[in-house]
Amino acid sequence: MKIAFTGTGRVGSPLARRLAEAGHDVCLARADEPSSSLEAALQRSSRLSALPMKEALEHAEAVFLAIPFQAVEGLLPDMADKLSGKILVDCTNPVGPGLSHGLKSVRSGSEAIQSLVPAARVIKAFSIYGYENLEDPAYPDYPQKPVMMFCGDDISAKQSVSTLIADCGFEPFDVGPLAQALHLEHMTLLWVRMVRAGGYSPHMVWGLMRREASSPPR
């Protein structure tokens, strides 16, 4: 898949590298201003390339939004026409004062993003952990992979993102429509409060276990 990344910091850089190494055609969107994080990301993998923002978006089938949420409103309106019909993977989280929800839990950041780019196919993903688990999702002492929950309204876009999640080393788990993004953002806040404020290991992840229903008793 042809993928573009807007944002190459602690979230975007490891995801871009993993997807490029999985065989995807990944380019980093270069803004007008020089970016040390973009140059550092390019040095991490020879499979990555960079293009000016407009060209990167035109090139892509899927675009990863991996910038701080507070930068979204200033960036997305100018990108709306280039994102029409494309998958937009929302990796952002609106975090407010005191590790509260940045939109006061009235609606999710993903729904706010969808309203800014209504013709894009927004999927919330790669948002429930800190960057440490994007760098290294391997847990060899456990039989299952860390779960990566995602949601969205477009079925085919979710199928594509599910594959990308698996390519990054996670167990994909579709939790429903984009309205579920608010709950994923609260799940992120739970992780952040436990790890960044509570002292838990940043290598704490969520797991998905299933059990087949037993036959009803006779």
CATH of region 2-197: 3.40.50.720
For 55-102, write each residue's pLDDT tens digit: 999 989 999 999 999 999 999 999 999 999 999 999 999 999 999 999
Torsion of Cα atoms, 31 then 21 then 157 then 107, to 10°: -60
Parse the chain into domains and list their residue ranges. Answer: 2-197
CA dist 4 and 55 (Å) reads: 10
CA dist 202 and 70 (Å) reads: 24
- Look at residue 33 and tell me whether its pLDDT is greater than 90: no
* Identity of residue 67: I
Summarize the confidence of residues 154-173 as an average pLDDT.
98
Number of helices and strands (H, E) in the chain? 8, 10
CA dist 28 and 8 (Å) reads: 7
- Quick one: pLDDT band at residue 218, thresholds 50, 70, 90? low
- Rounded to two decimals, what is the model's pTM? 0.95
Partners of 2 in the β-ladder: 25
Q: What is the mean pLDDT of the chain?
A: 95
pLDDT value at residue 192: 96
